[in-house]
Structure formats: structure tokens, C-alpha cells
Amino acid sequence: MSTLDWIIFIVAAVVFVITGLSILYNMIKGHHKTRLTDKFVWGLNIQIFYALSSFGTGLMVVMSAIILIVGNEFPFKILQAGNSIALACILAGVIQMGIDLGKPARAIKVLLGGKFNSPLTIDFIALTVLMILSIIFIVGMGAASLAAMKVWAYLTILISVLCMSTHTLLVASRFESGFRSNSFFSAETLVCSIWSGMAIMILLSSGNPLTGVFVQLLLVLSAAGLITGFSSVIVSKLGKSEIHTHKKVFILLSAITFIILVIGDLAGIKQGGLVVLACLLTLAAVIVEKASSVIVIQQRPVIPAPFSNLDPKERYVPSMTEIGYLLFSIAMIAVIPYGVFLIGFGA
Amino acid sequence: MKFGMLIDLRKCVGCFACTIACKAEKGTPTGINYNKVKKYEVGTYPSVKLKHIPMPCMHCDNPSCMEVCPTGATQKHETGVVTVDANECIGCKACMIACPYESRQFLWEIKPYYEGQERTPFEVYKQKDFQEGTVVKCNGCLERIQEGLEPSCVQTCITGARIFGDLDDPNSEISRLIASSGAVPFQPELGTEPSVYYIF
């Protein structure tokens, strides 16, 4: 590892330990230092859970697709690094969800409850299976045959997409019927996952001959993100619903990403600063979309007008504790891949 | 027996006696209110009216809160009442997102009502089954129903706006009133099949 890599790793490890201790404390004592209320029952932590699981599942779908398309020809090390990042994202996301529980020590009841029609149970199982699949890839797929890798890819695609759709199901009840609903919400969730996964893959595979193809696919996915976002605004307009700032920011980021990638494509740019910028904007757009699908939907009154017209208007601003949890996740995403590299699987 | 409640909004005067009776009966901690009464305005200025609508748990026949509960903590009792087992609840709050009636609350913290003082013996006794970090809701005064009593909100209503009874019995007062008055559940289009009916 280079000096810069060591610095990143050590700083991330220190942040990881400090914020990890506070998380441990809160998981044991329960969380009272958030700004969550009975109106905003899910906040920054669930937003980050959605975003990180979106990155992780999206990356795993992209890696599975690569295995199915080019087989053994794609560098194994990149796929291994991708899996360690996907594992870190999913694990960090699951911890965010765990922190948000009122009784984190009882989380095992999700499996014991046997409620397999509950979106949360499906999500819990799917994310656990995905983490196992990524560990299997990191540890045991080095000498695996193409057939074994393909079996891994089939399973990973199915479970990842199941996980993505679950994240629509969890908040589906907050979308109203008819024109007031956002019929493009599921599409947005799916697109954002694969789009962010592709962006991470481009950042990982810099210099690979296939990166140019990935960048073009990113262009296609940014168009899908832009248009599904735009369509949901049209649906809101038809239903005379409020179009909130997060949705506008998402569309703006998608549009800028699309334009950057079109300019890059016309100029024949397949890597470098412009592509990195497009990838980072993609990740930012997905995080904003998750704020939109987790937090903003809770701003709307649950009880319809006129019965809710006199309800107090609440706003949600995350507390320092919740921001601390976010730092933990960011640190974890750096620590796990570097840790995998240090242990030697990536060597 | 199937739990049923009819609320005649023409009779509701917005006295909040049902809210207070519920708090006294259940001893709910600070910030927890099972029996909300929402205020709303009708008409246009200058001809406007302030009205009230009590919004207890609807004890739905098809409760979305129960479907999403990952641990089975939310159950439907044989009387039709929807309950939460505090020992099974993990506090994921998925039921709060799923409930279209804002009937559920999260118990963030059990605090004494009187600042700077210990909880009173009444609070300690009444709150012994409450657990911080779990979701709480109206249980339809199940313990009272099982003793043949009415829920405390029904018993205390000063105008008789609330009628409690058995929806399975076509000859019960509530069934006859629903049939004759054209009472309807709140947002029936959601498909949750509420057991609380309103006369608007």
C-alpha cells in the first residue's frame, strides 16, 4: 500500500473505533439522542442504510453481470475489491439499521419471528445472504471455475434485486393511490442501485479496457435516473402534489451527470477527472434520492386533508449522534476493503 | 365477538374526555396518547367551523401494521383487537410507517410527568408493562372488554358519541346503527377494513 493508502486506512480505523464505541453504547442503552419523532420515525440512519445497501447491491449486480458477460477475462482482483466494498457497504448499512432499532439486542427475533411476508424480514435475510455471497467470493473464488462463478452471479443477481425491491416495499404504504402516487418510485429505486453500482465499478476498474464500456453504461443509467426522476415530478404535478427540493436536486444531479458523460463520450474520454466527477455526482444523486424516499415522504401528513390541516409542521434535522453514526459507516467502508487487502486476499 | 366502535361526529363536542379517560386507564407515559382527537376546520371564511374527529386505533380486520411486523409482535386478538407484545417488539418502526391512521407511537423514553421529581406510585404501577424503545398503541381496553365492560373512552363520552359493540352480531346496537345511519370507516379505500365507523 502507498503512504496515502496507509494514512486513509489509519484515519478511517481511528474514526471507526471511536464512533464504533459510541454505537456499541447506544445499541446497549437504546437511542435517545436522535431527533426522530413520531412523525419522523426514520431519519438519517435509515437514509444511509438505504443508500449504502443501494451501493452494495448495485455493485454486486454489476459484478455478476460482468462475470456473465466476460467470464474469467475480467481481472479477479477488481472483482475481489468490488466484493469487499459491497460487503463493507452492506454491513455498514445493516449496522445503521440496527442502531435505529429501539431494541437492537432483539434483532435476532426478525429471523425467529418467521414472518416471511414482512418486507423487513425479507430485507434482513437478503442482506445476510448477500454478505455471505460476497465473503465467499473474497475468500473462496480465487481458483473457482467459470461455472462456479456463474452460479454465484445468478444467485447474487436474484438476491440483490430482491433486496432493491424490498426497499420500495418498506415505504410503499406512504405513497397514495391514483395520480398522487409516484408510480416511478420502484423504477427509481432499481435504477439508482444499479447506477451507483456502476459508478463504483468505474472508480475501481480505472485503466481496464472494459472501463470505456462501463462509462457508456453509466451514461445509459444516468439517463434512466434522470427520466424516472422527471416522470415522478410529472406524476406529482398531475396529482397537484408538492414537488420537494430533494427531487429537484436529484434531477439536477442526474442531468449534470448525463451531460458530463455525453460530453465525455463525444470527446472520446473514457477515464480521468471528468469520469470520476460523473461517478461522484452519481453517488451524490443516489444519496439525495434516498433522502427523498425515506425522509421527505414522512413530511407529508398521513391523515388526509382537511383532518390534518391544523397539524403542527415538523422538520427533521439529524442530531450529532446520528451524524456520528454516519461517520462510522464511512470509516467502515474504508476499513474493510483496506483490511481485506492487508490480510492478503487482494494481494 | 368482533370489536367495533361507532363514533357519531355530529355529537362530538371536542371535550377530550375520551383522551383523558384513556390516559388515566392505561397510564401512558408522557408524550404517549392512544386516543387522539384531531381538530380541523370546515367551510370558508367568514363561515367557518372548528370540528373534531377522534382518531383511535381502527383495529383493522386487515391491519397493514401486522403484515409488516417482522417479529410477530403485532397480533390480532380473537375479539378483533390489534395488540402489540412489548416483549417481542424490536422497535423497527415499520408498523408506524405502514399504519395509515397514525395510531402507533414510539416510546422513546419513560419520564416522570412532574419535572425534577420521581415518578408517582400511580405512574410506576401503570407503566410497569411499558418498555422504552418499543412501539405502543391502543389495545381497545382488551382487559375491560374481557370483563364485559366498555372501553374507557366509550364509557366516559359525555354526549354518547361513541358506541361500542359486536360487529358480528347483526342485532347489536352498533350493527343496527351502522346499517341505519350509513356510517363509514375512515379511508375504507385503503383496504385495511377498519373496525371503527364514523357518522360524519
B135/A contact by beta carbon, under 8 A? yes
ipTM greater than 0.85, yes or no? yes
A117 CB neighbours in chain B (<8 A) are: 67
Which residue, chain included where needed, has cell 461522484?
A280
* Mean pLDDT, residues B28-51: 92
Average pLDDT per block of 10 residues along chain A, 347 residues long: 83 88 74 80 92 94 94 88 93 90 88 86 93 92 85 95 83 58 77 95 89 93 92 79 84 96 90 92 94 85 86 87 88 86 65
Q: What's the rounded mean pLDDT across residues B99-113?
A: 91
Q: Is the Cβ pair A121, B70 closer than 8 Å?
A: yes
Q: By the 8 A CB rule, do A123 and A52 touch?
A: no
Q: What share of chain B is helix, strand, coil (3-state, %, to 5)?
A: 25, 20, 55
**Contacting residues of B for A110, CB less than 8 Å apart:** 70-71, 90, 92
- pLDDT for the residue A226: 93
Residue owning grid cell 435505529: A100
User: Whole-angstrom Cα distance, residue A155 to residue A165?
Assistant: 16
Question: What DSSP state is assigned to residue B187?
Answer: S
Alpha carbons A232 and A227: distance in angstroms, whole number: 8
The reported pLDDT for the residue numbered A242 is: 73
Question: Under an 8 A CB cutoff, do A101 and B88 touch?
Answer: no
* A303 vs B contacts (CB less than 8 Å): 38, 55, 100-102
Domain ranges of chain A: 7-168+319-347, 171-315
Q: Which three cell numbers stand for residue B179?
A: 346499517
Q: In angstroms, rounded to a whole number, what is the distance separating the alpha carbons of residues A75 and A81?
A: 10
Cβ contact (<8 Å) for A120 and B94?
yes
pLDDT value of position A180 = 47
* Cβ-defined contact of B69 to A118 (cutoff 8 Å): yes
Is the CB of B189 less than 8 angstroms away from the CB of A113? no
Going by C-alpha positions, the residue among B126, B134, B156, B28 that lies closest to residue B87 is B134
Give domain B3-199's CATH number out of 3.30.70.20, 3.40.50.300, 3.90.245.10, 3.40.190.170. Answer: 3.30.70.20
**What's the whole-number average pLDDT of chain B?**
93
Residues of A with CB under 8 A from a CB of B: 30-32, 36, 38, 41-42, 100-104, 106-107, 109-110, 112-115, 117-121, 124, 170-171, 173-174, 177, 298, 302-304, 306-311
Cell of B97: 410507517
Q: Does B93 touch chain A (CB under 8 A)?
A: yes
